[in-house]
Amino acid sequence: MSQQTNQSWGGRFSEPTDAFVEQFTASVNFDRRLFHHDIRGSIAHATMLARVGVLTLDERDAIIQGLGEIEREIEEGAFPWSVALEDVHMNIEARLTEKIGITGKKLHTGRSRNDQIATDIRLYLRDEIDAIDAELARLRDGLIELATREADTIMPGFTHLQTAQPVTFGHHLLAWQEMVARDHERLRDCRKRVNVMPLGAAALAGTTYPIDRHVTAELLGFERPAENSLDAVSDRDFAIEFAALASLLLMHLSRMSEELVLWTSAQFDFIDLPDRFCTGSSIMPQKKNPDVPELVRGKSGRVYGHLMSLLTLMKSQPLAYNKDNQEDKEPLFDTLDTVKGCLRAFADMIPAIEARADSMYEAARRGFSTATDLADYLVRAGVAFRDAHEIVGQSVAYGIEQGKDLSEMTLDELRQFSAAIDEDVFEVLTLEGSVAARNHIGGTAPDQVRAAAQRARDALSALMEARA
C-alpha cells in the first residue's frame, strides 16, 4: 500500500491507495509532456480569477511567479515528478504549494481536472497542428519545385500497374501535391474545432464562482468557450478527427512511398534517392535500400490503429467525464509524433530526388503507351471510336508478334489495319506528341504542368498568408 492518500482528493478515504492501483491509474509518465500547456492554462485561469475578484493581485502574482519557476525546473530536468500525485496537473500544483504555501491551493478554485485536461490537450494539439501545418507546406513546396523541374520529363503512366499512357514526371508529382493539399485543408479545418475552450466547465456542471470564460478564452487564444459544460469535459471528437485526417495523410504518404520503393528498384530504375535517405545490407554489400519510404509506408498502420483505438474508447461512454478518457493521450501523442516524423522525412527527401529521365523515357516507349493516341487519330479521321479501338487492338497484337512498338512500325505496316492512317500518324505516335496533345487544364502537357505548378504555388502562398 502507498503511504498516504492523495491529498487532492483523499479526504473521504479511510485507507491509502493500493500501490499497484496507484501505478496502474497514474498518467504522469506520459501526460507530463503537457506541462507547458498546463502551466499556460493555469496562468490564464489565475489571471481571470484575479479580474473577477476571487484572487487578490498579490495571490495572482505569486501563482504566476511560482508557475514560471516550476516551468524552468521542468525544462532543466530538476522537477521531482511523482507517480503518487497521478498526473501532470497535481504534480505541478503540489510543487506550487510547496513554493508559495496556501496560495498555491487556491489556484484550483473554479475548475476541475476534467476541464483542465481537456483544455491542456486542446492547447497542445493546436500547437502541434501548427507545427504539422508548417511541415505540410514544406512538403508541398518541395513537390511543386520538383514538378516544375521535371515538367518535360516523360514517364509511363500506369493503370493496374500496367503501362497505360505516357505522362510527365512533373504531372505525376503534382498528383501527389493534390493529395497533400487536401490533407492541408483538412488540417486547417480540424484546427477550428480544436480551438474551443473547455476551461470553466469544471467537473461537468460549471462552477458557482463568478468566472469570466471569455476572458480566459482570449488569454489562451481560443476562438470561444465551449457552449455546454457536459460536452466540454467529455468531448474527444477533436482528437478523433485529427487521427482521421492523420490516417488519410499517412495513407497518401504510403502510396507515395510504394511508388518510390518501386521506382528505386533495378527493375524500374526511374529515380535515385541520395544515400542519406537509404541504408545498406549487413550481408549483401551491393544493396541500397529505400528505408525511409519503406518505414513511412509501414507507419501508416500504427496511425490507423490509433484512430480505431480512439473511436473504440469513446463509443459507449455516457456523459460526462470517465476515467476511460485517460487512454486518449497515448494514441494521440504517438499519432502526432509519427505524423511529424514522416512529414519531416518526406519534406527533406522529396527535393533531393533525382529523376533518371532516360530510364523513364525508355519504359514509356514499351507497352504500346501511345495506342490511345492512335485511336484518337483514327476518330479524327472519321472512324467510329469502337472501330478505331478494334483497329488499334489489331495493330498492338501485330506489334507484340513482331516485337515492335507502334512508333517503330512503317506506314505500310500500320495501313494494313486501316486506310485512314497517313504519314502524319507518326506525329501522334511519339511520346512527346502524346503528352503535348493533352494540352488542357489538368492534362499532362508540359505547359499545363508548369501552369498547374504555378497555381499550386499561388494557392499554397495564399493559404500560408491566411494563417499568418
Any idea where the domains of the chain sit in the sequence?
Answer: 10-109, 114-362, 366-467
The residue to which cell 483514327 is assigned: 378
Rg (CA), the chain: 31
How far is the C-alpha of 51 from the C-alpha of 60, rounded, in Å?
A: 10
- Angle at which helices 169-194 and 237-264 cross, to 10°: 170
Helix and strand totals (H; E) in the chain = 19, 6
Q: Annotated active-site positions, please?
A: 160, 281
Sign of the alpha-carbon dihedral angle for 241, 244, 248, 251: positive
How far is the C-alpha of 54 from the C-alpha of 110, rounded, in Å?
A: 9
pLDDT at residue number 2: 44
CB-based contacts of 96: which residues, under 8 Å, 6+ apart?
63, 66, 67, 70, 104, 107
Whether residue 357 contacts residue 153, with contact meaning beta carbons closer than 8 Å, is answered with yes
DSSP-derived secondary structure letter, 327: G
Return left, alpha or beta for 206; rule: phi > 0 is left, psi -120 to 50 is alpha, else beta: left
Which amino acid appears at position 321 of this protein?
Answer: Y
pLDDT at residue number 25: 80
- The three three-digit cell numbers of residue 166, written as one number: 505516357
**pLDDT means over runs of 10, the chain (468 residues):** 52 74 88 98 98 98 98 98 95 97 97 97 98 98 98 97 95 98 98 98 97 98 98 98 98 98 96 90 84 96 98 96 95 98 98 97 92 93 95 94 92 94 92 94 97 98 88
| CATH number for the domain formed by residue range(s) 10-109 | 1.10.275.10
Which amino acid appears at position 131 of this protein?
Answer: A
| CATH number for the domain formed by residue range(s) 366-467 | 1.10.40.30
pLDDT at residue number 12: 67
Looking at the domain 114-362, which fold is it?
A: Fumarase C; Chain A, domain 2 (1.20.200)
- The three three-digit cell numbers of residue 57, written as one number: 493581485
Which amino acid appears at position 75 of this protein?
Answer: E
Helix (H, G, I), strand (E, B) or coil at 279: strand
How far is the C-alpha of 113 from the C-alpha of 107, rounded, in Å?
A: 12
